[in-house]
Copies of this chain bind each other. A is one copy, B any other.
Amino acid sequence: MSKTNRGNFFEDFSVGQVIRHATPRTVTVGDVSLYSALYGTRFAVQSADTFAQDIGYPAAPVDDLLVFHTVFGKTVPDISLNAVANLGYAGGRFLAPVYPGDTLTAVSEVIGLRENSNGQSGVVYVRSVGFNQDGTEVLDYVRWVMVRKADPSLPAPEPVVPTLPAALAPDALGGAVPVLDIEGWRDDLSGSTARFSDYAVGERIDHVDGMTVEEAEHMIATRLYQNTAKVHFNQFTEGQGRFGRRLIYGGHVISIARALSFNGLANAFHIAAINGGRHVAPLFAGLTVHAWSEVLDAQELPGRDDVGALRLRTVATKDQPTADFPLKAENGDYDPSVILDLDYWALIPR
């Protein structure tokens, strides 16, 4: 029996397979501090127990993306250790709040498989679910990833491609947010007076600030999430590879973009769903991330008058300020500066 995890290859997966991932993780105020220090996030609900309690939380909840990265990290040794590329996310929902002291575990189900025509690799679709210590689902999402075959001579499986929603519906949002006492929300402390009704569909916001990334930072972050993907950590190997350097975990870019988005979206305190996301190009240390957002949709939540939902597209670039909202060229190709194109629902007080 091999004691070293070589990771699963494309032929090791089968549709319907359920994988319970290793290493449960108690999330603590230490993790929250590190997350704050790595990204500089300033959303008041996650920053202060008092602010959170004044609107009805028992305490400041853990940042949604820290939850996401922690759950995602658990899936890596089983799902994507032999990945060629992480292709996309869909249908991500934050289902229950997570507080310091909660312990997260993760389970994935293989919901689709499609071998590539070259027979060298295939796309694996998994739905991953994060649980807290009570067995409550706190997060689920679908991702698909291109995984190498160990033995290209093996026959291709019957292709199964799941139908994925373009976006979550408003009635699927808000599970991770208790009904809030919005009277307690203080705009002077949250950093903005702009609330749900102040945002218009089609509005674009340049988040202005830029953040340069260092090797130590993205590695500290990615290890905090217990994400073991080799490409982020091993300069000896990566120095001889495709890019000549370590690749930064795509989730690190999402967190930077989210933190930058405070400047323009200060009251959009909660990511309720990730409709889809694409890591358009890799990021490397020494480069600077900027971001801008567009309001794609604005919806009330059925039965709730405390918060509304903004569907946002947040685009991050490398070494390119975003005052003119770089996205795509006329031929439809992404601007070469774009590294992230993320579609998500954020909740904001009404």
Determine the chain B residues whose CB is within 8 A of the CB of A188 once the complex forms: 20, 22
A190 — which chain B residues lie within 8 A by C-beta? 22-23
| Smallest CB separation, A348 vs chain B (Å) | 11
Contacts of A192 in B (CB 8 A): 3, 5, 22
Does A214 sit at the interface, judged by CB under 8 A? yes
Chain A residues 82-129 with CB under 8 Å of chain B are 101, 103, 105
Which of the segments A27-35, A162-170, A172-180 contacts the partner chain? A27-35
Kindly specify which of A146-154, A218-226, A275-283 makes contact with the partner chain. Answer: A218-226
Known: A210-B234, A212-B246, A217-B220. A189 touches B33 (CB 8 A): no
Tell me which residues across on chain B come within 8 A of A56, comparing CB atoms. none
Q: How many residues of A contact B (CB 8 A)?
A: 83
A42: min CB distance to chain B, Å: 5
Q: Judge whether A201 is part of the interface by a CB distance below 8 angstroms.
A: no
Tell me if A329 is interfacial: C-beta within 8 Å of chain B: no
Tell which of A48, A206, A211, A212 has the most Cβ of chain B within 10 Å: A212
Which B residues lie within 8 Å of A223 (CB)? Answer: 36-40
Q: Does A243 contact B (CB under 8 A)?
A: no
- So how many copies of this chain end up in the complex? 3
Instruction: Please report the C-alpha to C-alpha distance between residue A4 and residue B322 in the assembled complex, in whole angstroms.
Output: 13
Whether B34 lies near A33 (C-beta < 8 A) is: yes
Across the interface, A26 reaches (CB within 8 A) one of B6, B47, B220, namely: B47
CB-based contact B37/A224 at 8 Å: yes
Residues of chain B with a CB closer than 8 A to A51's CB: 24, 103
- Please tell me if A230 contacts chain B, counting CB pairs below 8 Å: yes
Contacts of A49 in B (CB 8 A): 26, 101, 103, 133
A209-B234, A223-B38 known; A47 and B25 CB under 8 Å? yes
In the complex, what's the smallest C-beta–C-beta distance from A35 to chain B, in angstroms? Answer: 9
Q: Are A1 and B198 in contact (CB under 8 A)?
A: yes
A187 to chain B, nearest CB (A): 9
Also in contact, A4 and B105, with CB within 8 A (given A216-B217, A288-B235): no
With A49-B26, A51-B24 already in contact, the answer to whether A37 and B34 are too (CB < 8 A) is yes
User: Which residue on chain B has the smallest CB distance to residue A30?
Assistant: B33
Contact A191 B23 (CB under 8 A): yes
4 cross-chain pairs, A with B, having the tightest CB-CB distances, nearest first: A30-B33, A22-B191, A40-B223, A236-B288
Q: Can you spell out 16 A-B residue pairs with CB atoms less than 8 angstroms apart?
A: A3-B205, A4-B263, A22-B189, A23-B48, A24-B48, A30-B34, A34-B34, A37-B224, A39-B223, A40-B226, A42-B228, A48-B103, A50-B133, A209-B230, A217-B220, A237-B288
